[in-house]
Chain A
Amino acid sequence: MRLNFTFFGMLLLGLGLYQGNAQTAEEWFQKGNTAYTNAAYKQAVEAYLKSLEEGEHSAALYYNLGSVYYRMNAVAESIYYFEKGLALAPDDPDLNNNILFAKNMTVDAIEELPQTQVAQFQSKFLSVLSLQHWTWLSLLLFWLFALFMTGYLWFQSSRVKKQLFVSALLFGTLGIAAYFAANTKNSQLQSEQYGIVFSERIEVNNEPNRRSEIQFTLHEGTKVQILEQFQEWQKIRIANGAEGWVSDANIRSL
């Protein structure tokens, strides 16, 4: 009991010290919100960015940042933070609404490639949980499988054995499914690196050299997929499937 008390006291002390030195992310966030309502957008941006420096993030913070930048007519920044927010909360209605306004401001009109039903279902399914959660789920299911298998081996009664075996099989199958889901999600996150074009205008070449033909030009705020890197050139793909190389482009990866 006594030990418990000292621990609690130390915890409080630590918190107090922490708050004395710097403001928490939440406080900066609230400061930004106040600035936003007063239309002091520059201050709001500063406050939100300070909040990010605290090492914690949230979909709401990214949403607010995107909104402030939209108010300031900064296209690329606005889309960048909305996209970051969507990565954390893909189904947030406000985020999905406001990003449309921001996308309205971009110059490029890119028609997205249609997705197959299977691909749509897959991406929907994978986005239910984050990678971390998929990982934990697969581990939990494997442990349950092992536990039930142990029970199956231990118990004598054929009735109990049967129930345990069926459950173990079920958990095992689900565990494998979760493992593969996590694996796919991980490879997706690894390979599909996206970025937002911050340069006002970039030219996309056919090959990674200056002599090659210019295929198309992109403008501020367009989302691109970064495929590979060669010297100072980056290979990118845009939503309609067109690919090309860019150099010296200011593309901030999400």
Chain B
Amino acid sequence: MLSLKQRRSLTTALMGILAWGVALAIFFPIFWMLLTSFKTEIDAFATPPQLFFTPTLENYTLVNERSDYFHFAWNSVVVSFGSTIIGMLLAVPAAYSMAFFETKRTKATLLWMLSTKMLPPVGVLVPIYLLFKDLQMLDTRIGLTIIFTLINLPIMIWMAYTYFKEIPKEVLEAARMDGSTLFQEIWRVLLPMSKGGLASTVLLALILSWNEAFWSLNLTASQAAPLTALIASYSSPEGLFWAKLSAVSTLACAPILIFGWISQKQLVRGLSFGAVK
């Protein structure tokens, strides 16, 4: 009979194996996509699908030629970073005021802001589309940036608010007594103290914008389309460019994947609207 200690380590080992199995199974599609990106198109479409093959980098080196990757990637970058920066410029003062000048209406305002994020986009698809058409904002980066700012603003304010609430009020009062103006108080004391939380907020906003796949599909065509739309265009049955698709997809997803890995713990707060910390 095994001792308690031996039983425990056996269970742990079995559980470990099971966990690894599940993790590898779940990660498999991403792995396969990565693998396929190094195949030639013929290998990519081979039946049965090959695990071993001669790798090639042609899908990556020619990615811009074959699909104008950089154009779409640049759109993604501009729109994601643009909307995040504008969003933070709006969110930080709002969160500051709500965290440190709390009134009876603050909680209601916050909850209302969050509820705007819960609006299904289809509900306003028509008016936004028509508005953009009339204002000639369809297929523009600016238009998309504005939309992304608006849909992510509630989460940015919310996350910044929860992080600001964790700053002890007295340190800011000390700064005030030391002679700082409001701006200096925020810039030299509050922001350095909350930079971890604000970094997570920025990351979350970037991830949400980068992966956004409703407005980017409906409001853009060729000029302002970000990567989400580029990849969607591969679904047309003109050709089976699986290897190319895999390469483009890997390039498109890699940065966000890495962001997500780094900041997983901090993202939970924003993803769960603060309900899970």
Partners in one complex: no
Residues of B within 8 A of A (CB): none
